[in-house]
Every structure is written in C-alpha cells, then in structure tokens.
Amino acid sequence: MQSTTIITKAVIPAAGLGTRLYPATKVQAKEMLPLGLKPVIQMVAEELVASGVREILIITGHKKRAIEDHFDPSQGVELEPPAEDWALHCERMGVKFYYTRQSRPRGLGDAIGQARDFVGDDQFVVALGDCTIIGGPQPLTQRLIQTHSQQGAAATIALQKVDAAQTDRYGIVQLADPQAEPLRLTDIVEKPGPQRAPSNLAVCARYVFSPAIFSHLQQTAAGHGGEIQLTDAIRALIADGGRYMQFCWPRRNCAWMWGTLPRTAEDSCAPCLTIPNWAHSLLITYGG
C-alpha cells in the first residue's frame, strides 16, 4: 500500500468534431451543448475541481474557441441570482485553465499526448469533455484519485456495464477477478464487436495516469479507425503487472444522449440528483 499522492492536474480532451450531433455541432463545440443551464464541459470541470484539481488543460481544436471564452470570467456583466459566473468562482479559488490545440483529429491518444509538457512528472486525471457522471455524494474522480494513489497504480480507469450489442462503441476490458476490489486489468480492446469483446465492462470517460503513459503513447502506432488510440497505450502498461479499476455511476454522453434531455426549462434547471425519472431514462439509453 502506497502513501496518498495529491493529484491537482487534469486534462480534458475536447477536440472531437461531434459529427454524430450534426447539425447542432456544425458551428458549436459539442462540449458546449447545454445540460440545463450549464454546458457539458463545465459540469466536467466542476467534478474535477470538487475532486481537488486546480490546474486544467483543455485540448481544443477546430471551432472550439467558445470553450476558452466560457472559462474566462465575465467582464462588466451584472448577474442576478440564481445566475452565477462559475469561472469567477474558479478564479477566486486559484483554479487555472490552460489550452492547447490538436491541429487535426488523430485520436484520443494523440490528444492526450499534447499534454506531456503540462503534466511533467506528475500524476494526472483525464476526463472526457463530452461526458458527465451521475450520482453519489463523492465525485467519481475523487474516488479514482484515492484508489490510484493508495494502490500506487500506473493507470486507474472508471468502468461501466454496457449491453453486449454496444461493445463496438467503447474500449472493453478483461479482468483477472471480477469479484476483487479494486479490479485488476489483464487486457483492454478498442471497440470490439460482441463476438470479440472480453466482457461487457466498458471504459467510462475518466482516467488517472502516471506520466509513464506518455512513453507508451509515443510508441503507439495508428490503430482502430487509423487513429492513435489511448486504449492501445493502456494495453502496453499491462505488462507492468496490471492496473487498478473502479466501477462508476452511469454517465451522460452528449454524443449519444441528446434526445433524452428534459422536456421543459423547469426540469432542465433542476440539479441532476433531483430528477430520478430523467436519470432512469438515461440508464436505458446511454452509450459511447
């Protein structure tokens, strides 16, 4: 058992084109689509800050300038409660946002590779910018950080159960012992069909890594879809003895969930945890 390491850096990949949501994302970043009064990426950042993260690097791309503008404090704008400028709150807390661009879409692994200088020799979180996590008094990212630090792991990854027919949308893992806690990874495959999937346990949008991941990313060739896959770099870590996993709560992924949002403005303004019927509908239809 290792001593607990404080992890204060996070990377949010947000360079994807969002083509599954056209035409809504033709000129707007999918991460800026709203869930209630907040864009998805703000909810992701709120989870990170609540988990102790104080430095956030957002990987942007073509037509993503609105993300940078959103996390700048408002200038000369008077807001009436309950409206608030969360960016101003972050500024007061000492939370810092940084940005870099993925010049062309070459996969999640390539996007994470852009963060090497930002991360340095520190452990860090990766949180996908188009996925929010439902449930629990303790943020999922905080749980992952605690497990990662306590176990001295090189990678700690959130998992979710998916239907067999959906395995071709996710990275799917194989476990040494499904009853153990924390769970130990023995293999991971990028978007296998139901016949090739080693389980129905899918990677769920949140990771904690040691900086060792970057050397594996650097050596990773283009894989599924001709892109640099983070999954392939994680596979390269397995030879180091396996990594610890945690199950997570259901997520809301804007790329697949746009049709399940609340029907009224009143519902959409309510906090997620007070809308059990909405959460149930998401459980039925969520996907990668």
All structural domains of the chain, each given as residue ranges with its CATH number in brackets, are 9-285 (3.90.550.10)
Please tell me the predicted confidence (pLDDT) of residue 128. Answer: 94
Q: In this structure, what DSSP letter does residue 70 have? A: H
Q: Token pair for residue 205?
A: 């949008």
Name the pairing type of β-strands 155-161 and 201-209.
antiparallel
CA distance 279 to 5: 33
Of 175, 154, 158, 168, which Cα lies nearest the Cα of 236? 154
DSSP secondary structure string for all residues of 104-149: S---HHHHHHTTHHHHTTS-EEEE-TTEEE---SS-HHHHHHHHHH
Residue with tokens 């090739």: 196
CA distance 180 to 197: 20
The segments of the chain whose pLDDT lies below 50 read 1, 255-288
Please tell me the predicted confidence (pLDDT) of residue 175. Answer: 84
Q: Token pair for residue 245?
A: 């996993």
* Amino acid of residue 227: E
Please tell me the predicted confidence (pLDDT) of residue 247. Answer: 57
Contact 271, 135 (CB under 8 A): no
Please tell me the predicted confidence (pLDDT) of residue 277. Answer: 33
SS3 100: strand
Contact 283, 133 (CB under 8 A): no
* Amino acid of residue 252: R
Please tell me the predicted confidence (pLDDT) of residue 242. Answer: 53
CA distance 215 to 234: 11
Residue with tokens 């176990």: 151
CA distance 106 to 245: 26
| Packed helices 86-93 and 40-50: angle between N→C axes, nearest 10 degrees | 30
- Return the bridge partners of 190, or none: 171
Q: In this structure, what DSSP letter does residue 221 have? A: P
CA distance 176 to 134: 27
CA distance 99 to 186: 34
